Amino acid sequence: MITLGEYIVKKQAEYPSATGELSSLLSSIRRAAKVVNREINRAGLAVDIIGGSSGSENVQGEVQQKLDVYANDMFKAALEARGEVCGIASEEEDHFVAFDSESHSNAKYVVLMDPLDGSSNIDVNVSVGTIFSIYRRISKPGEPVTMEDFLQPGINQIAAGYVVYGSSTMLVYTTGHGVHGFTYDPTLGSFCLSHENIRIPEEGTIYSINEGNYIKFPDGVKKYLKYCQEKDDASKRPYTSRYIGSLVSDFHRNMLKGGIYIYPSGTSAPNGKLRLLYECNPLAFLAEQAGGKASDGFRRIMEIKPTSLHQRTPYFVGSTRMVEKAEEFMTQYSSPAAE
C-alpha cells in the first residue's frame, strides 16, 4: 500500500523544480484531518465536543456547532505550525487570518477552507467533511498578507481537496494533475492510496437537490428536474434522486458514480447558499480535473472574480453532460439577471 505521504513525495520527485513546500502544506492538512476524524468518531462519547451548538454564530448568521469551532481551530493550528502559509480564510472566521511571524510573512501560499461541511448533521451520524483550497499569494513576500490574496478566481488554485468522514474516511485532492483518493486505515494511522486518477462518468443517473425548495426554484431548474423525472430508456431516465444534505458527501458519491449536484438561487438564500471560495471553487477544480464540470447555471464557476470572502453563488456540479443539459434549461427558461 502507498500512503499519502509516500505518494506526495513520489509525485514531487516527478517535478525537478518542486521545492517541497506544497507537499509539506498538504501534510499539515493530513495531520489535522486525522485529529478531526478522531473526534468525529467519538461523537457519541465526546459530549463536550459534539453536544449541540457552541452558542455562537458565524459571519453568515449560522449557528456554529462545537465541532465547527474545534475543526477550525485544528486546521488553523496545523497550517500555522509550519512556515508554508502566510494566512488563511475560513467559513467560520469573519475575516481572513494573517500569520504574523517573520517566517510566515515570507510564505508563498494562502489556504481557504470549510473546516466542517455539513456539521448540522453531526448529531444524527450523517457523513460530514472538510474542504480546502490553496492559492499562491499575490502580495509581495515579506509583507503582510492582503485581501487580494484571497479574492482570486478559482482558475488560480494550485491545489484543492476534501476529506469525507463517513463509514470510511477519505482524503481526495488535486494539484492540477488528476484527482487521487486516499482511505484512512486506523490500524496504521495512515491514509492509503485507494482511488488513483478518479474520473467522473460523462453522464450519470443521479441528481442531488433539496426538492423541498422546489416552489422557489428558477424556472430553468424546475424544467430540468421535470426532464430528470421523465421516462426515456435511451438516456436511462428517469434519474434517481439522492440528497444527503452534506455537500462533500453528495459530491463524493456523484464523482464516483456519476451525477449532478444543484444548489440554485431562489431558495431561502437568494444568491444560493454555497460559498464560492470555500466550497464551490475547490470542488469545481476537483470536478474539472476528474473530467466533470462546474457552473453557476450560465458560466464556469472558476472564472468568477470574487468580490467578498463569504460570497455565495448558485451551483451546478458533476457529470459534464448533465451540467451542460441543466445549463441549456437555464439559458432557455431563466436569465442571469434573475440569478
Q: What is the pLDDT of residues 189-229, one digit of tens each?
A: 999 999 999 999 999 999 999 999 999 999 999 999 999 99
Q: How far apart are CA 309 and CA 113, in angstroms?
A: 11
Q: What's the confidence (pLDDT) of residue 336?
A: 76
Burial of 333 (C-beta count, 10 Å sphere; 0-12/13-18/19+): middle
Instruction: Report percent pLDDT > 70 for the chain.
Output: 90
Residue ranges and CATH numbers for the domains of the chain are 4-195 (3.30.540.10), 206-333 (3.40.190.80)
How many CB atoms within 10 Å of residue 209? 23
Does residue 58 carry a pLDDT above 60? no
What are the binding residues for substrate? 117-120, 210, 243, 273
Q: How far apart are CA 228 and CA 150, in angstroms?
A: 37
What are the binding residues for Mg(2+)? 91, 114, 116-117, 279
304-318 confidence digits (pLDDT tens):
999 999 999 999 999
What are the binding residues? 91, 114, 116-120, 210, 243, 273, 279
Select, from the ranges 69-73, 78-82, 160-164, the one with the highest average predicted confidence (pLDDT).
Answer: 160-164
227-260 confidence digits (pLDDT tens):
999 999 888 899 999 999 899 999 999 999 999 9
Q: How far apart are CA 34 and CA 236, in angstroms?
A: 40
The three three-digit cell numbers of residue 256, written as one number: 464516483
